[in-house]
Structure 1
Amino acid sequence: MEHISKLLTKIKLITIHENTLRKEKEKRGESFNMFSILKLSREEVRLHSAFITELLNPRGTHGLKDKFLHSFLKTIDSKINFDFTSIRVKNEFFIGEINNKGDRGGRIDLIITDKMNNAIIIENKIGAKDQSKQLLRYHNYAKEEKRQFQLLYLTKDGCTASDISTDNKKFDYTCIS
């Protein structure tokens, strides 16, 4: 009986701690999610990628030029030296038909490029499962194009990509949320 009492005490402390964290998040506005409010939280292609593309685009309708892009690059600690006069931000960027081996081709959710052949490639995962060799295809594309690049894997919680997406290959990518 004493073990059960100790367990219940620990559970109570954990619950109090979690409630305190939740209330602090609410005070800071971290629980606000306009996509959830609009019942669009799973619309990866039509909403999330398009919205992020517009924010990061220096010629976006937001009128803030490259402020969002600079902030984003700082947040991800990008070491790429972009030429901001030639930045292009595109979503659903077609890189060719997927080949027989499945390691080339597809559509990149979001890509930021410049005339110096620099790129940031973002795979946006909001609820969808990893596709076979998906990150590997994007990595191979950037290597073949001889780009200086950073590959980002965007999820709600910053988790790593599955072995299915990387084909168990080791290459650099950054998890962001």
Structure 2
Amino acid sequence: MTDENLGLLLERFREFTIDIEARKKRGQNDFNPLLCVQKLDDEANMHSGFLYALLNPCGEHYQDDLFLKLFLKSIGLKEWFGDTNNAEVYKEYKNIDIYITNNNKHIIIENKIWARDQGTQIARYIEAIAEVDSSDERESSVEYENIAVVYLAPYIKNPTQQSLGKWKIQGEFLVDNENNKVRFKAISYDNEMIDWLEYALNEAGGISNLRMAIECYTDVVKRLTGKKDNTMDLQAFFNKKGNERFLEIALELVARRDEVLHAHFSAIAREIESKYKKDYEINDLGNGKGITLLHSKFDEIKNFCFYIAAEITDKEKISLNIYLCNSKSNTEQRKSIIKKIKEVLDVNDEAFNPYRFQYNKYDLTLKEFKEIDLKDFTQERFINFFESVRKQTDEFNQKIADDLAKGQDSKLRKFLTDEDD
């Protein structure tokens, strides 16, 4: 990797990001209103919810059984199911994600995004529809042959044997030890669902709000299955003619990730040093893990004061926070220390980050705690964070220093070790 090639890569990528911003302003962006209110992989609310809304003949789309018929055609059950004029569709019926019936035929849809199968889950759903009462060993009131199980996942896969219980997959059927048969279909968002949505969009005609809803959900499904044609991501950058040769450089940078992050934090440190000279002591956490900053005038109490920090977390995120350094104290002392800190600072619990305050036994973190994606972490973002909390942090540390200087009258000195003095 030569400096010339690296420089060219950075220049091309700068041009690419400028182009992206321009297109965003023209409305060419990846905005999807559904993703503003639900998560991409939310099985119950996003996916089962939309599936139910469109399949339900009594739904507010006012298209009767149109979308239900298109769905049954897409999954190959239209002829088997028969009449849909009086069909009913339910969501969360007896814990079944989607249940479709015309009082003669019955379809169980188990919707699995990334969740694991539960023990005998599908077996229980079959028995719930068949209405088998094991206590008196009576036969089912619904014939097994009139039941179909549809297993829906992002990509084609079968349910686990644990979920099937006594049933086993044999071609297009589930068969038990007594040779009872239930129809079975494994379908996917990647295939049948996208086909169905395309059919539905064609039939929506000029109904603008309905078309928009189907288009938005189609976009969600394509994102879920990796079929989204995104012209604003890194793949688009490297696919662009002439940029393919930069992929090797990018991969080398990924392999040397810790070095890149270390350089990033070093650049931040240099910016702080240039602006504040030697006012702040900057500690490199090593291996690109982050940095901490402390005003030099608090050097004598560095083992008992608040640090401003940028730290890489285990979730490929970075936390910007102000935490109390007092790692030498044991957990038994923690309650007492927190109580005295609040007294010295003259603050209540609202001054601290509630999540860290409740769960972290070693760091007391101020409420200004932020966690951002690593890709969004820039020198400017940290400098802005540093500037916004610097004054308050120094004021808190000064109060701690003033208390420790009181000797026997100090509320905090008894928690220091000999090494801290």
Say yes or no: TM over 0.5.
yes
Please tell me whether the aligned partners of residues 123 and 153 of structure 1 are also in contact (alpha carbons under 8 angstroms).
yes
Letter in 2 for 1:64: Q
2:108 corresponding residue in structure 1? 121
Q: How far has the Cα of 1:53 moved from its partner?
A: 0.7
1:173 to 149, 160, 184: 184
**Match for residue 64 of structure 1?**
63
Question: Could you list the per-position Cα deviations for residues 114-144 of structure 1 after superposition, in whole angstroms to 9, with x for gaps in the alignment?
Answer: 13x3111100011211010011112223343
* Count of residues in Structure 1 that have an aligned counterpart in Structure 2: 133
C-alpha distance 33-48 of structure 1, shift in aligned 2 (>3 A):
farther
SS of the aligned residue for 2:157 comes to coil
Q: What are the residue-to-residue correspondences of 1:24-63 with 2, within 5 Å? A: 37-38=35-36, 40-63=39-62
Residue 93 of structure 2 corresponds to which residue in structure 1?
Answer: 93
> Among residues 90, 96, 101, which one is paired with 1:108 in the alignment?
96
Distance 1:155 1:33 in 2: 25
- Where does 1:68-79 land on structure 2 (aligned, <5 Å)? 68-78=67-77, 79=79
User: What TM-score results when the alignment is normalised by the length of structure 1?
Assistant: 0.66
1:33 and 1:173 mapped to 2: Cα distance?
37
Q: Which has the higher contact order (CA 8 A, sep 6+)?
A: 1
Which residue of structure 2 aligns with residue 82 of structure 1? 82
Larger of the two Rg values belongs to structure: 2
Separation in 2 of the partners of 1:160 and 1:132? Answer: 14
Compared CA separation, residues 114 and 123, structure 1 to 2 (3 A): same
Q: TM (normalized to structure 2)?
A: 0.29
Contact 1:35 1:41 in 2 (8 A): no
Contact 2:100 2:106 in 1 (8 A): yes
Shift of residue 110, structure 1, vs aligned partner: 0.4
Query: Deviation string for 1:41-93 (max 9, x for gaps)?
Result: 22111221121011111121112222211111111111324332321100100
Q: Is the 8 A contact 2:123 2:166 kept in 1?
A: no
Q: Which amino acid aligns with 2:152?
A: L
The answer on whether the counterparts of 1:80 and 1:149 sit within 8 Å (CA) in structure 2 is no
- 1:90 maps to a residue whose letter is Y
CA distance change for structure 1 residues 86 and 164 in 2, over 3 Å: closer, same or farther?
A: same
Structure 1 residues 47 and 37 mapped into 2: Cα distance closer, same or farther (>3 Å)? closer
2: CA distance, partners of 1:145 / 1:130 = 27
Q: Which amino acid aligns with 2:154?
A: K
User: How high is the sequence identity, in percent, across the aligned residues?
Assistant: 33
State how far apart, in whole Å, the 2-side matches of 1:33 and 1:141 are.
41
**In structure 1, distance between residues paired with 2:83 and 2:157:** 30
SS at match of 1:161: coil
* CA distance in 2: counterparts of 1:74 and 1:58, whole angstroms: 16
SS in 2 for 1:80: helix
RMSD: 2.4
